[in-house]
Amino acid sequence: MESAVHTGPTILEMRDITKEFPGVKALEDVTLTVRAGEIHAVCGENGAGKSTLMKVLSGVYPHGSYSGEIIYQGKEVRFSNIRSSEAVGIAIIHQELALIPLLSITENIFLGNEPTRFGVIDWIQAKKRAIELLARVGLQDDPDTLVKNIGVGKQQLVEIAKALNKSVKLLILDEPTAALNESDSQHLLDLLRGLQGKGITSIMISHKLNEIEAIADSITILRDGRTIETLDVDADGVDEDRIIRGMVGRVLEHRFPERNSKIGDVFFEVKNWNVQHPQVSERMVVKNSSFSVRRGEVVGFAGLMGAGRTELAMSIFGRAYGNYLSGQLFKDGKEIKLHNVHEAIEAGLAYVSEDRKALGLNLLDDIKRSIVSAKLSKISSVDVVDDVEEYQLAEAYRKSLRIKTPSVDEGVNKLSGGNQQKVVLAKWMFTDPDLLILDEPTRGIDVGAKTEIYGIIRDLAAQGMGIIMISSELPELLGVSDRILTIFEGRITNDLLVEQATPENLMRSMTSSDKKATVR
């Protein structure tokens, strides 16, 4: 039976939208139709044009910078900026949240839209209204709390509260759950259903196809800047495989590539590793952790957000996080002492961070300089970089990793998320590591790019590289790893061969301090 929400009138039509950047046509004659009161998903591979389309709709790209028409609530609209779209009830929440960390929740909600009394900001009224808005999104924190002191999941709720304050009718969310753990993601999806019940229409961009299948009423699929199709989830019997087929234009029979693991001897060991929080000395973020990695082995790290996975990885990588207290590192049977990142690189370690934009790349650099930046000494003579060799090496990585760009002279900021991640991988492959640490390597990238990343991981392991892979997605860990370690509150709680691991026993070890691990 068709859902009642499908009977709503059309609230939005985008007709023949075309948007060009120098040398690139990002959108070509894209159409999008959204019904009032529905949750409408927009899916597509990285670079398909999803975020660009939403920026056109919200006025980030103003009228005149694109061609085509936007019909909203039956009338053509021509937005000159975000304020003009917000004035008619359209609000966008970007993947990179637009909150100011050193301001309070209240100050962020009303920033630029403060309630006044006799020309002076009325903070009493603002706080009262903030409490009401936070209650609507299910957030119980004190509105005077600084945004920097709440987690990413709660920051998403503050953004939605901010939108509700502007009497939003159409809410656009770009990858709202990309950085959230499972419980925070579920809370956000439940909130969207609740807002839907109050008549608010949502457009949601997401690469998490299980969430799209569960929550969306309709799905529009973009590919290479064009509209491919719009699916009615109920009527068309949509599942993840059907969405993937539309996104990539083919069936992905094996999302996780087959591996014939040829695992060698142990070459890297961590023994009794202890690390303090960098600001809170009484808080231990890594507690007496020990593990090993073999050549050609992919070791998965599973844990809930805040469990200490990233803290453990970064502290091993030249003490890049926290205050080292005690513990030993061994490589090829010999103890190594890594006091900084440079020493870690020289020892054959590489670390792909979970935040590629803040920690993995300099967004002002071009692709070729980004690829060689971690070890310029390889292509330098008397501290002068060989520009020809730099270009040739970057071109070789562009071809081998299939980085989609017209030239390695392009800025990395112009690349899609999946292609930026390939540049980060190339950067660390260039350092010739023995141990590659991957922290959420597929976060925020589409299913096709994920499959390519998995293939790269398989090939590197086949060459004898040891790989540590941190991921919040259990199916990914089960599909890629040879062995999985679980972490809870800074402790390693289990060590399982992938054949022994199930989502159930992994989750049990991720939520319990009862240590069962046998270090292999």
Whether residues 466 and 338 share a domain: the answer is yes
pLDDT over 80 at 179, yes or no: no
Residue 250 has a pLDDT of 60
Q: What is the pLDDT of residue 260?
A: 78
Amino acid at 430: F
d(CA 172, CA 41): 10
330 has which bridge partners?
A: 269, 335
In a domain, 484, yes or no: yes
Q: Are 202 and 281 found together in one domain?
A: no
Virtual CA dihedral for 146, 149, 151, 155, nearest 10 degrees? 10
Of the residues 222, 248, 274, which one is the last residue of a structural domain?
248
Last residue of a domain, one of 430, 450, 482: 430
Convert the pLDDT of each residue in 468-489 to its tens digit: 999 987 888 999 999 999 998 8
Question: Are both 269 and 167 inside the same structural domain?
Answer: no
90-93 sheet: strands from edge to edge: 90-93, 170-174, 201-205, 39-43, 218-223, 226-232
In angstroms, rounded to a whole number, what is the distance separating the alpha carbons of residues 363 and 365? Answer: 5
Cα 1 to the center of its chain, rounded Å: 35
Indicate whether 514 pLDDT > 70.
no
Q: How far is CA 357 from CA 149, 184, 367, 420, 443, in A?
A: 21, 23, 13, 8, 12
In a domain, 409, yes or no: yes
Report helix, strand or coil for 318.
coil
Token reading at 187: 């809370």
Percent of the chain clearing pLDDT 90 (strictly above): 47
Strands 10-21 and 67-72 come out as antiparallel
Residue after which a domain boundary falls, among 189, 216, 248: 248
pLDDT interval class at 252 (50, 70, 90): low
Q: Does residue 143 lie in a domain region?
A: yes
- 367: closest CA among 293, 421, 319, 331? 421
Predicted pLDDT of residue 510: 84
Residue 253 lies in a domain: no
| pLDDT for 254 beyond 70 | no
Both 135 and 276 in one domain: the answer is no
Phi, psi of 481 (to 5 degrees): -80, 155
Instruction: Give me the pLDDT at residue 36, please.
Output: 94
Amino acid at 299: V
Q: Which domain holds residue 494?
A: 259-348+433-520
Q: Among 52-56, 229-233, 464-468, 513-517, which is the least confidently predicted range?
A: 513-517
Domains contained in the chain, number: 3
CA pair distance 385, 67, nearest whole angstrom: 44
| 232, 104: one domain | yes
The Cα 159–Cα 196 span in angstroms is: 17
Query: Helix (H) and strand (E) counts for the chain?
Result: 16, 24
Select from 89, 102, 90, 100 the least CA-distant residue to 55.
90
Residue 218 binned pLDDT confidence (cut-offs 50, 70, 90): very high
337 and 421 in a single domain? The answer is no
Evaluate whether residue 292 is within a structural domain: yes
Q: What is the pLDDT of residues 413-453, one digit of tens each?
A: 888 777 888 888 888 888 989 999 999 888 777 777 788 88
- Same domain, yes or no: 383 and 513: no
Q: What is the pLDDT of residue 305?
A: 67
Residue 492 lies in a domain: yes
| Residue 180 sits in the same domain as residue 310 | no
Cβ–Cβ under 8 Å, residues 144 and 105:
yes
> Is residue 361 situated within a structural domain?
yes
Query: Residues 211, 295: one domain?
Result: no
Pairing assessment for the beta strands 483-488 and 491-497 based on DSSP bridges: antiparallel
Per-residue confidence at 103, pLDDT binned at 50, 70, 90? very high
Would you say residue 254 lies in a domain?
no
Q: What does the alpha-carbon distance between residue 362 and residue 43 come to, in Å, rounded to a whole number?
A: 28
Burial of 104-130, coded b for 16+ CB within 10 Å and e otherwise, reads bbbbbbbeeeeeeeeeeeebeebbebb
The confidence score (pLDDT) of residue 303 equals 86
- What is the residue type of 281? S
Instruction: State the Cα–Cα distance between residues 85 and 77, nearest whole angstrom.
Output: 9
Residue 39: which of 189, 175, 154 has the closest Cα? 189
pLDDT at position 253 is: 58
pLDDT at 6: 47
For residue 136, pLDDT over 60 is answered with yes
pLDDT at 224: 84
First-to-last alpha carbon distance for the chain, in angstroms, is 54
Structure tokens at 280: 């809170």
Q: Letter for the amino acid at 69?
A: E
Residue-wise pLDDT tens digits, 40-59: 999 887 678 888 999 999 99
Highest mean pLDDT: which of 11-20, 118-127, 418-427? 11-20
- Would you tell me the crossing angle of helices 387-400 and 417-429 to the nearest 10 degrees? 120
Q: What is the DSSP string of 217-273?
A: SEEEEEETTEEEEEEETTTTT--HHHHHHHHHSS--S-SS---------EEEEEEEE
8 Å CB contact between 493 and 509: yes
Is the pLDDT at 231 greater than 60? The verdict is yes
The answer to whether residues 413 and 494 belong to one domain is no
Task: Specify the pLDDT at position 1.
Answer: 31
d(C-alpha 128, C-alpha 110), whole Å? 12
Distance from C-alpha of 64 to C-alpha of 80, rounded to nearest angstrom: 9
> In terms of Cα–Cα distance, which of 195, 192, 199 is closest to 214?
192
Does 271 share its domain with 218?
A: no
Taking phi over 0 as left and psi of -120 to 50 as alpha, with beta for the rest, 49 belongs to: left
CATH number at residue 496: 3.40.50.300
Within this chain, do residues 187 and 297 fall inside the same structural domain, yes or no?
Answer: no
Give CA–CA dist 486/509, Å, rounded: 6
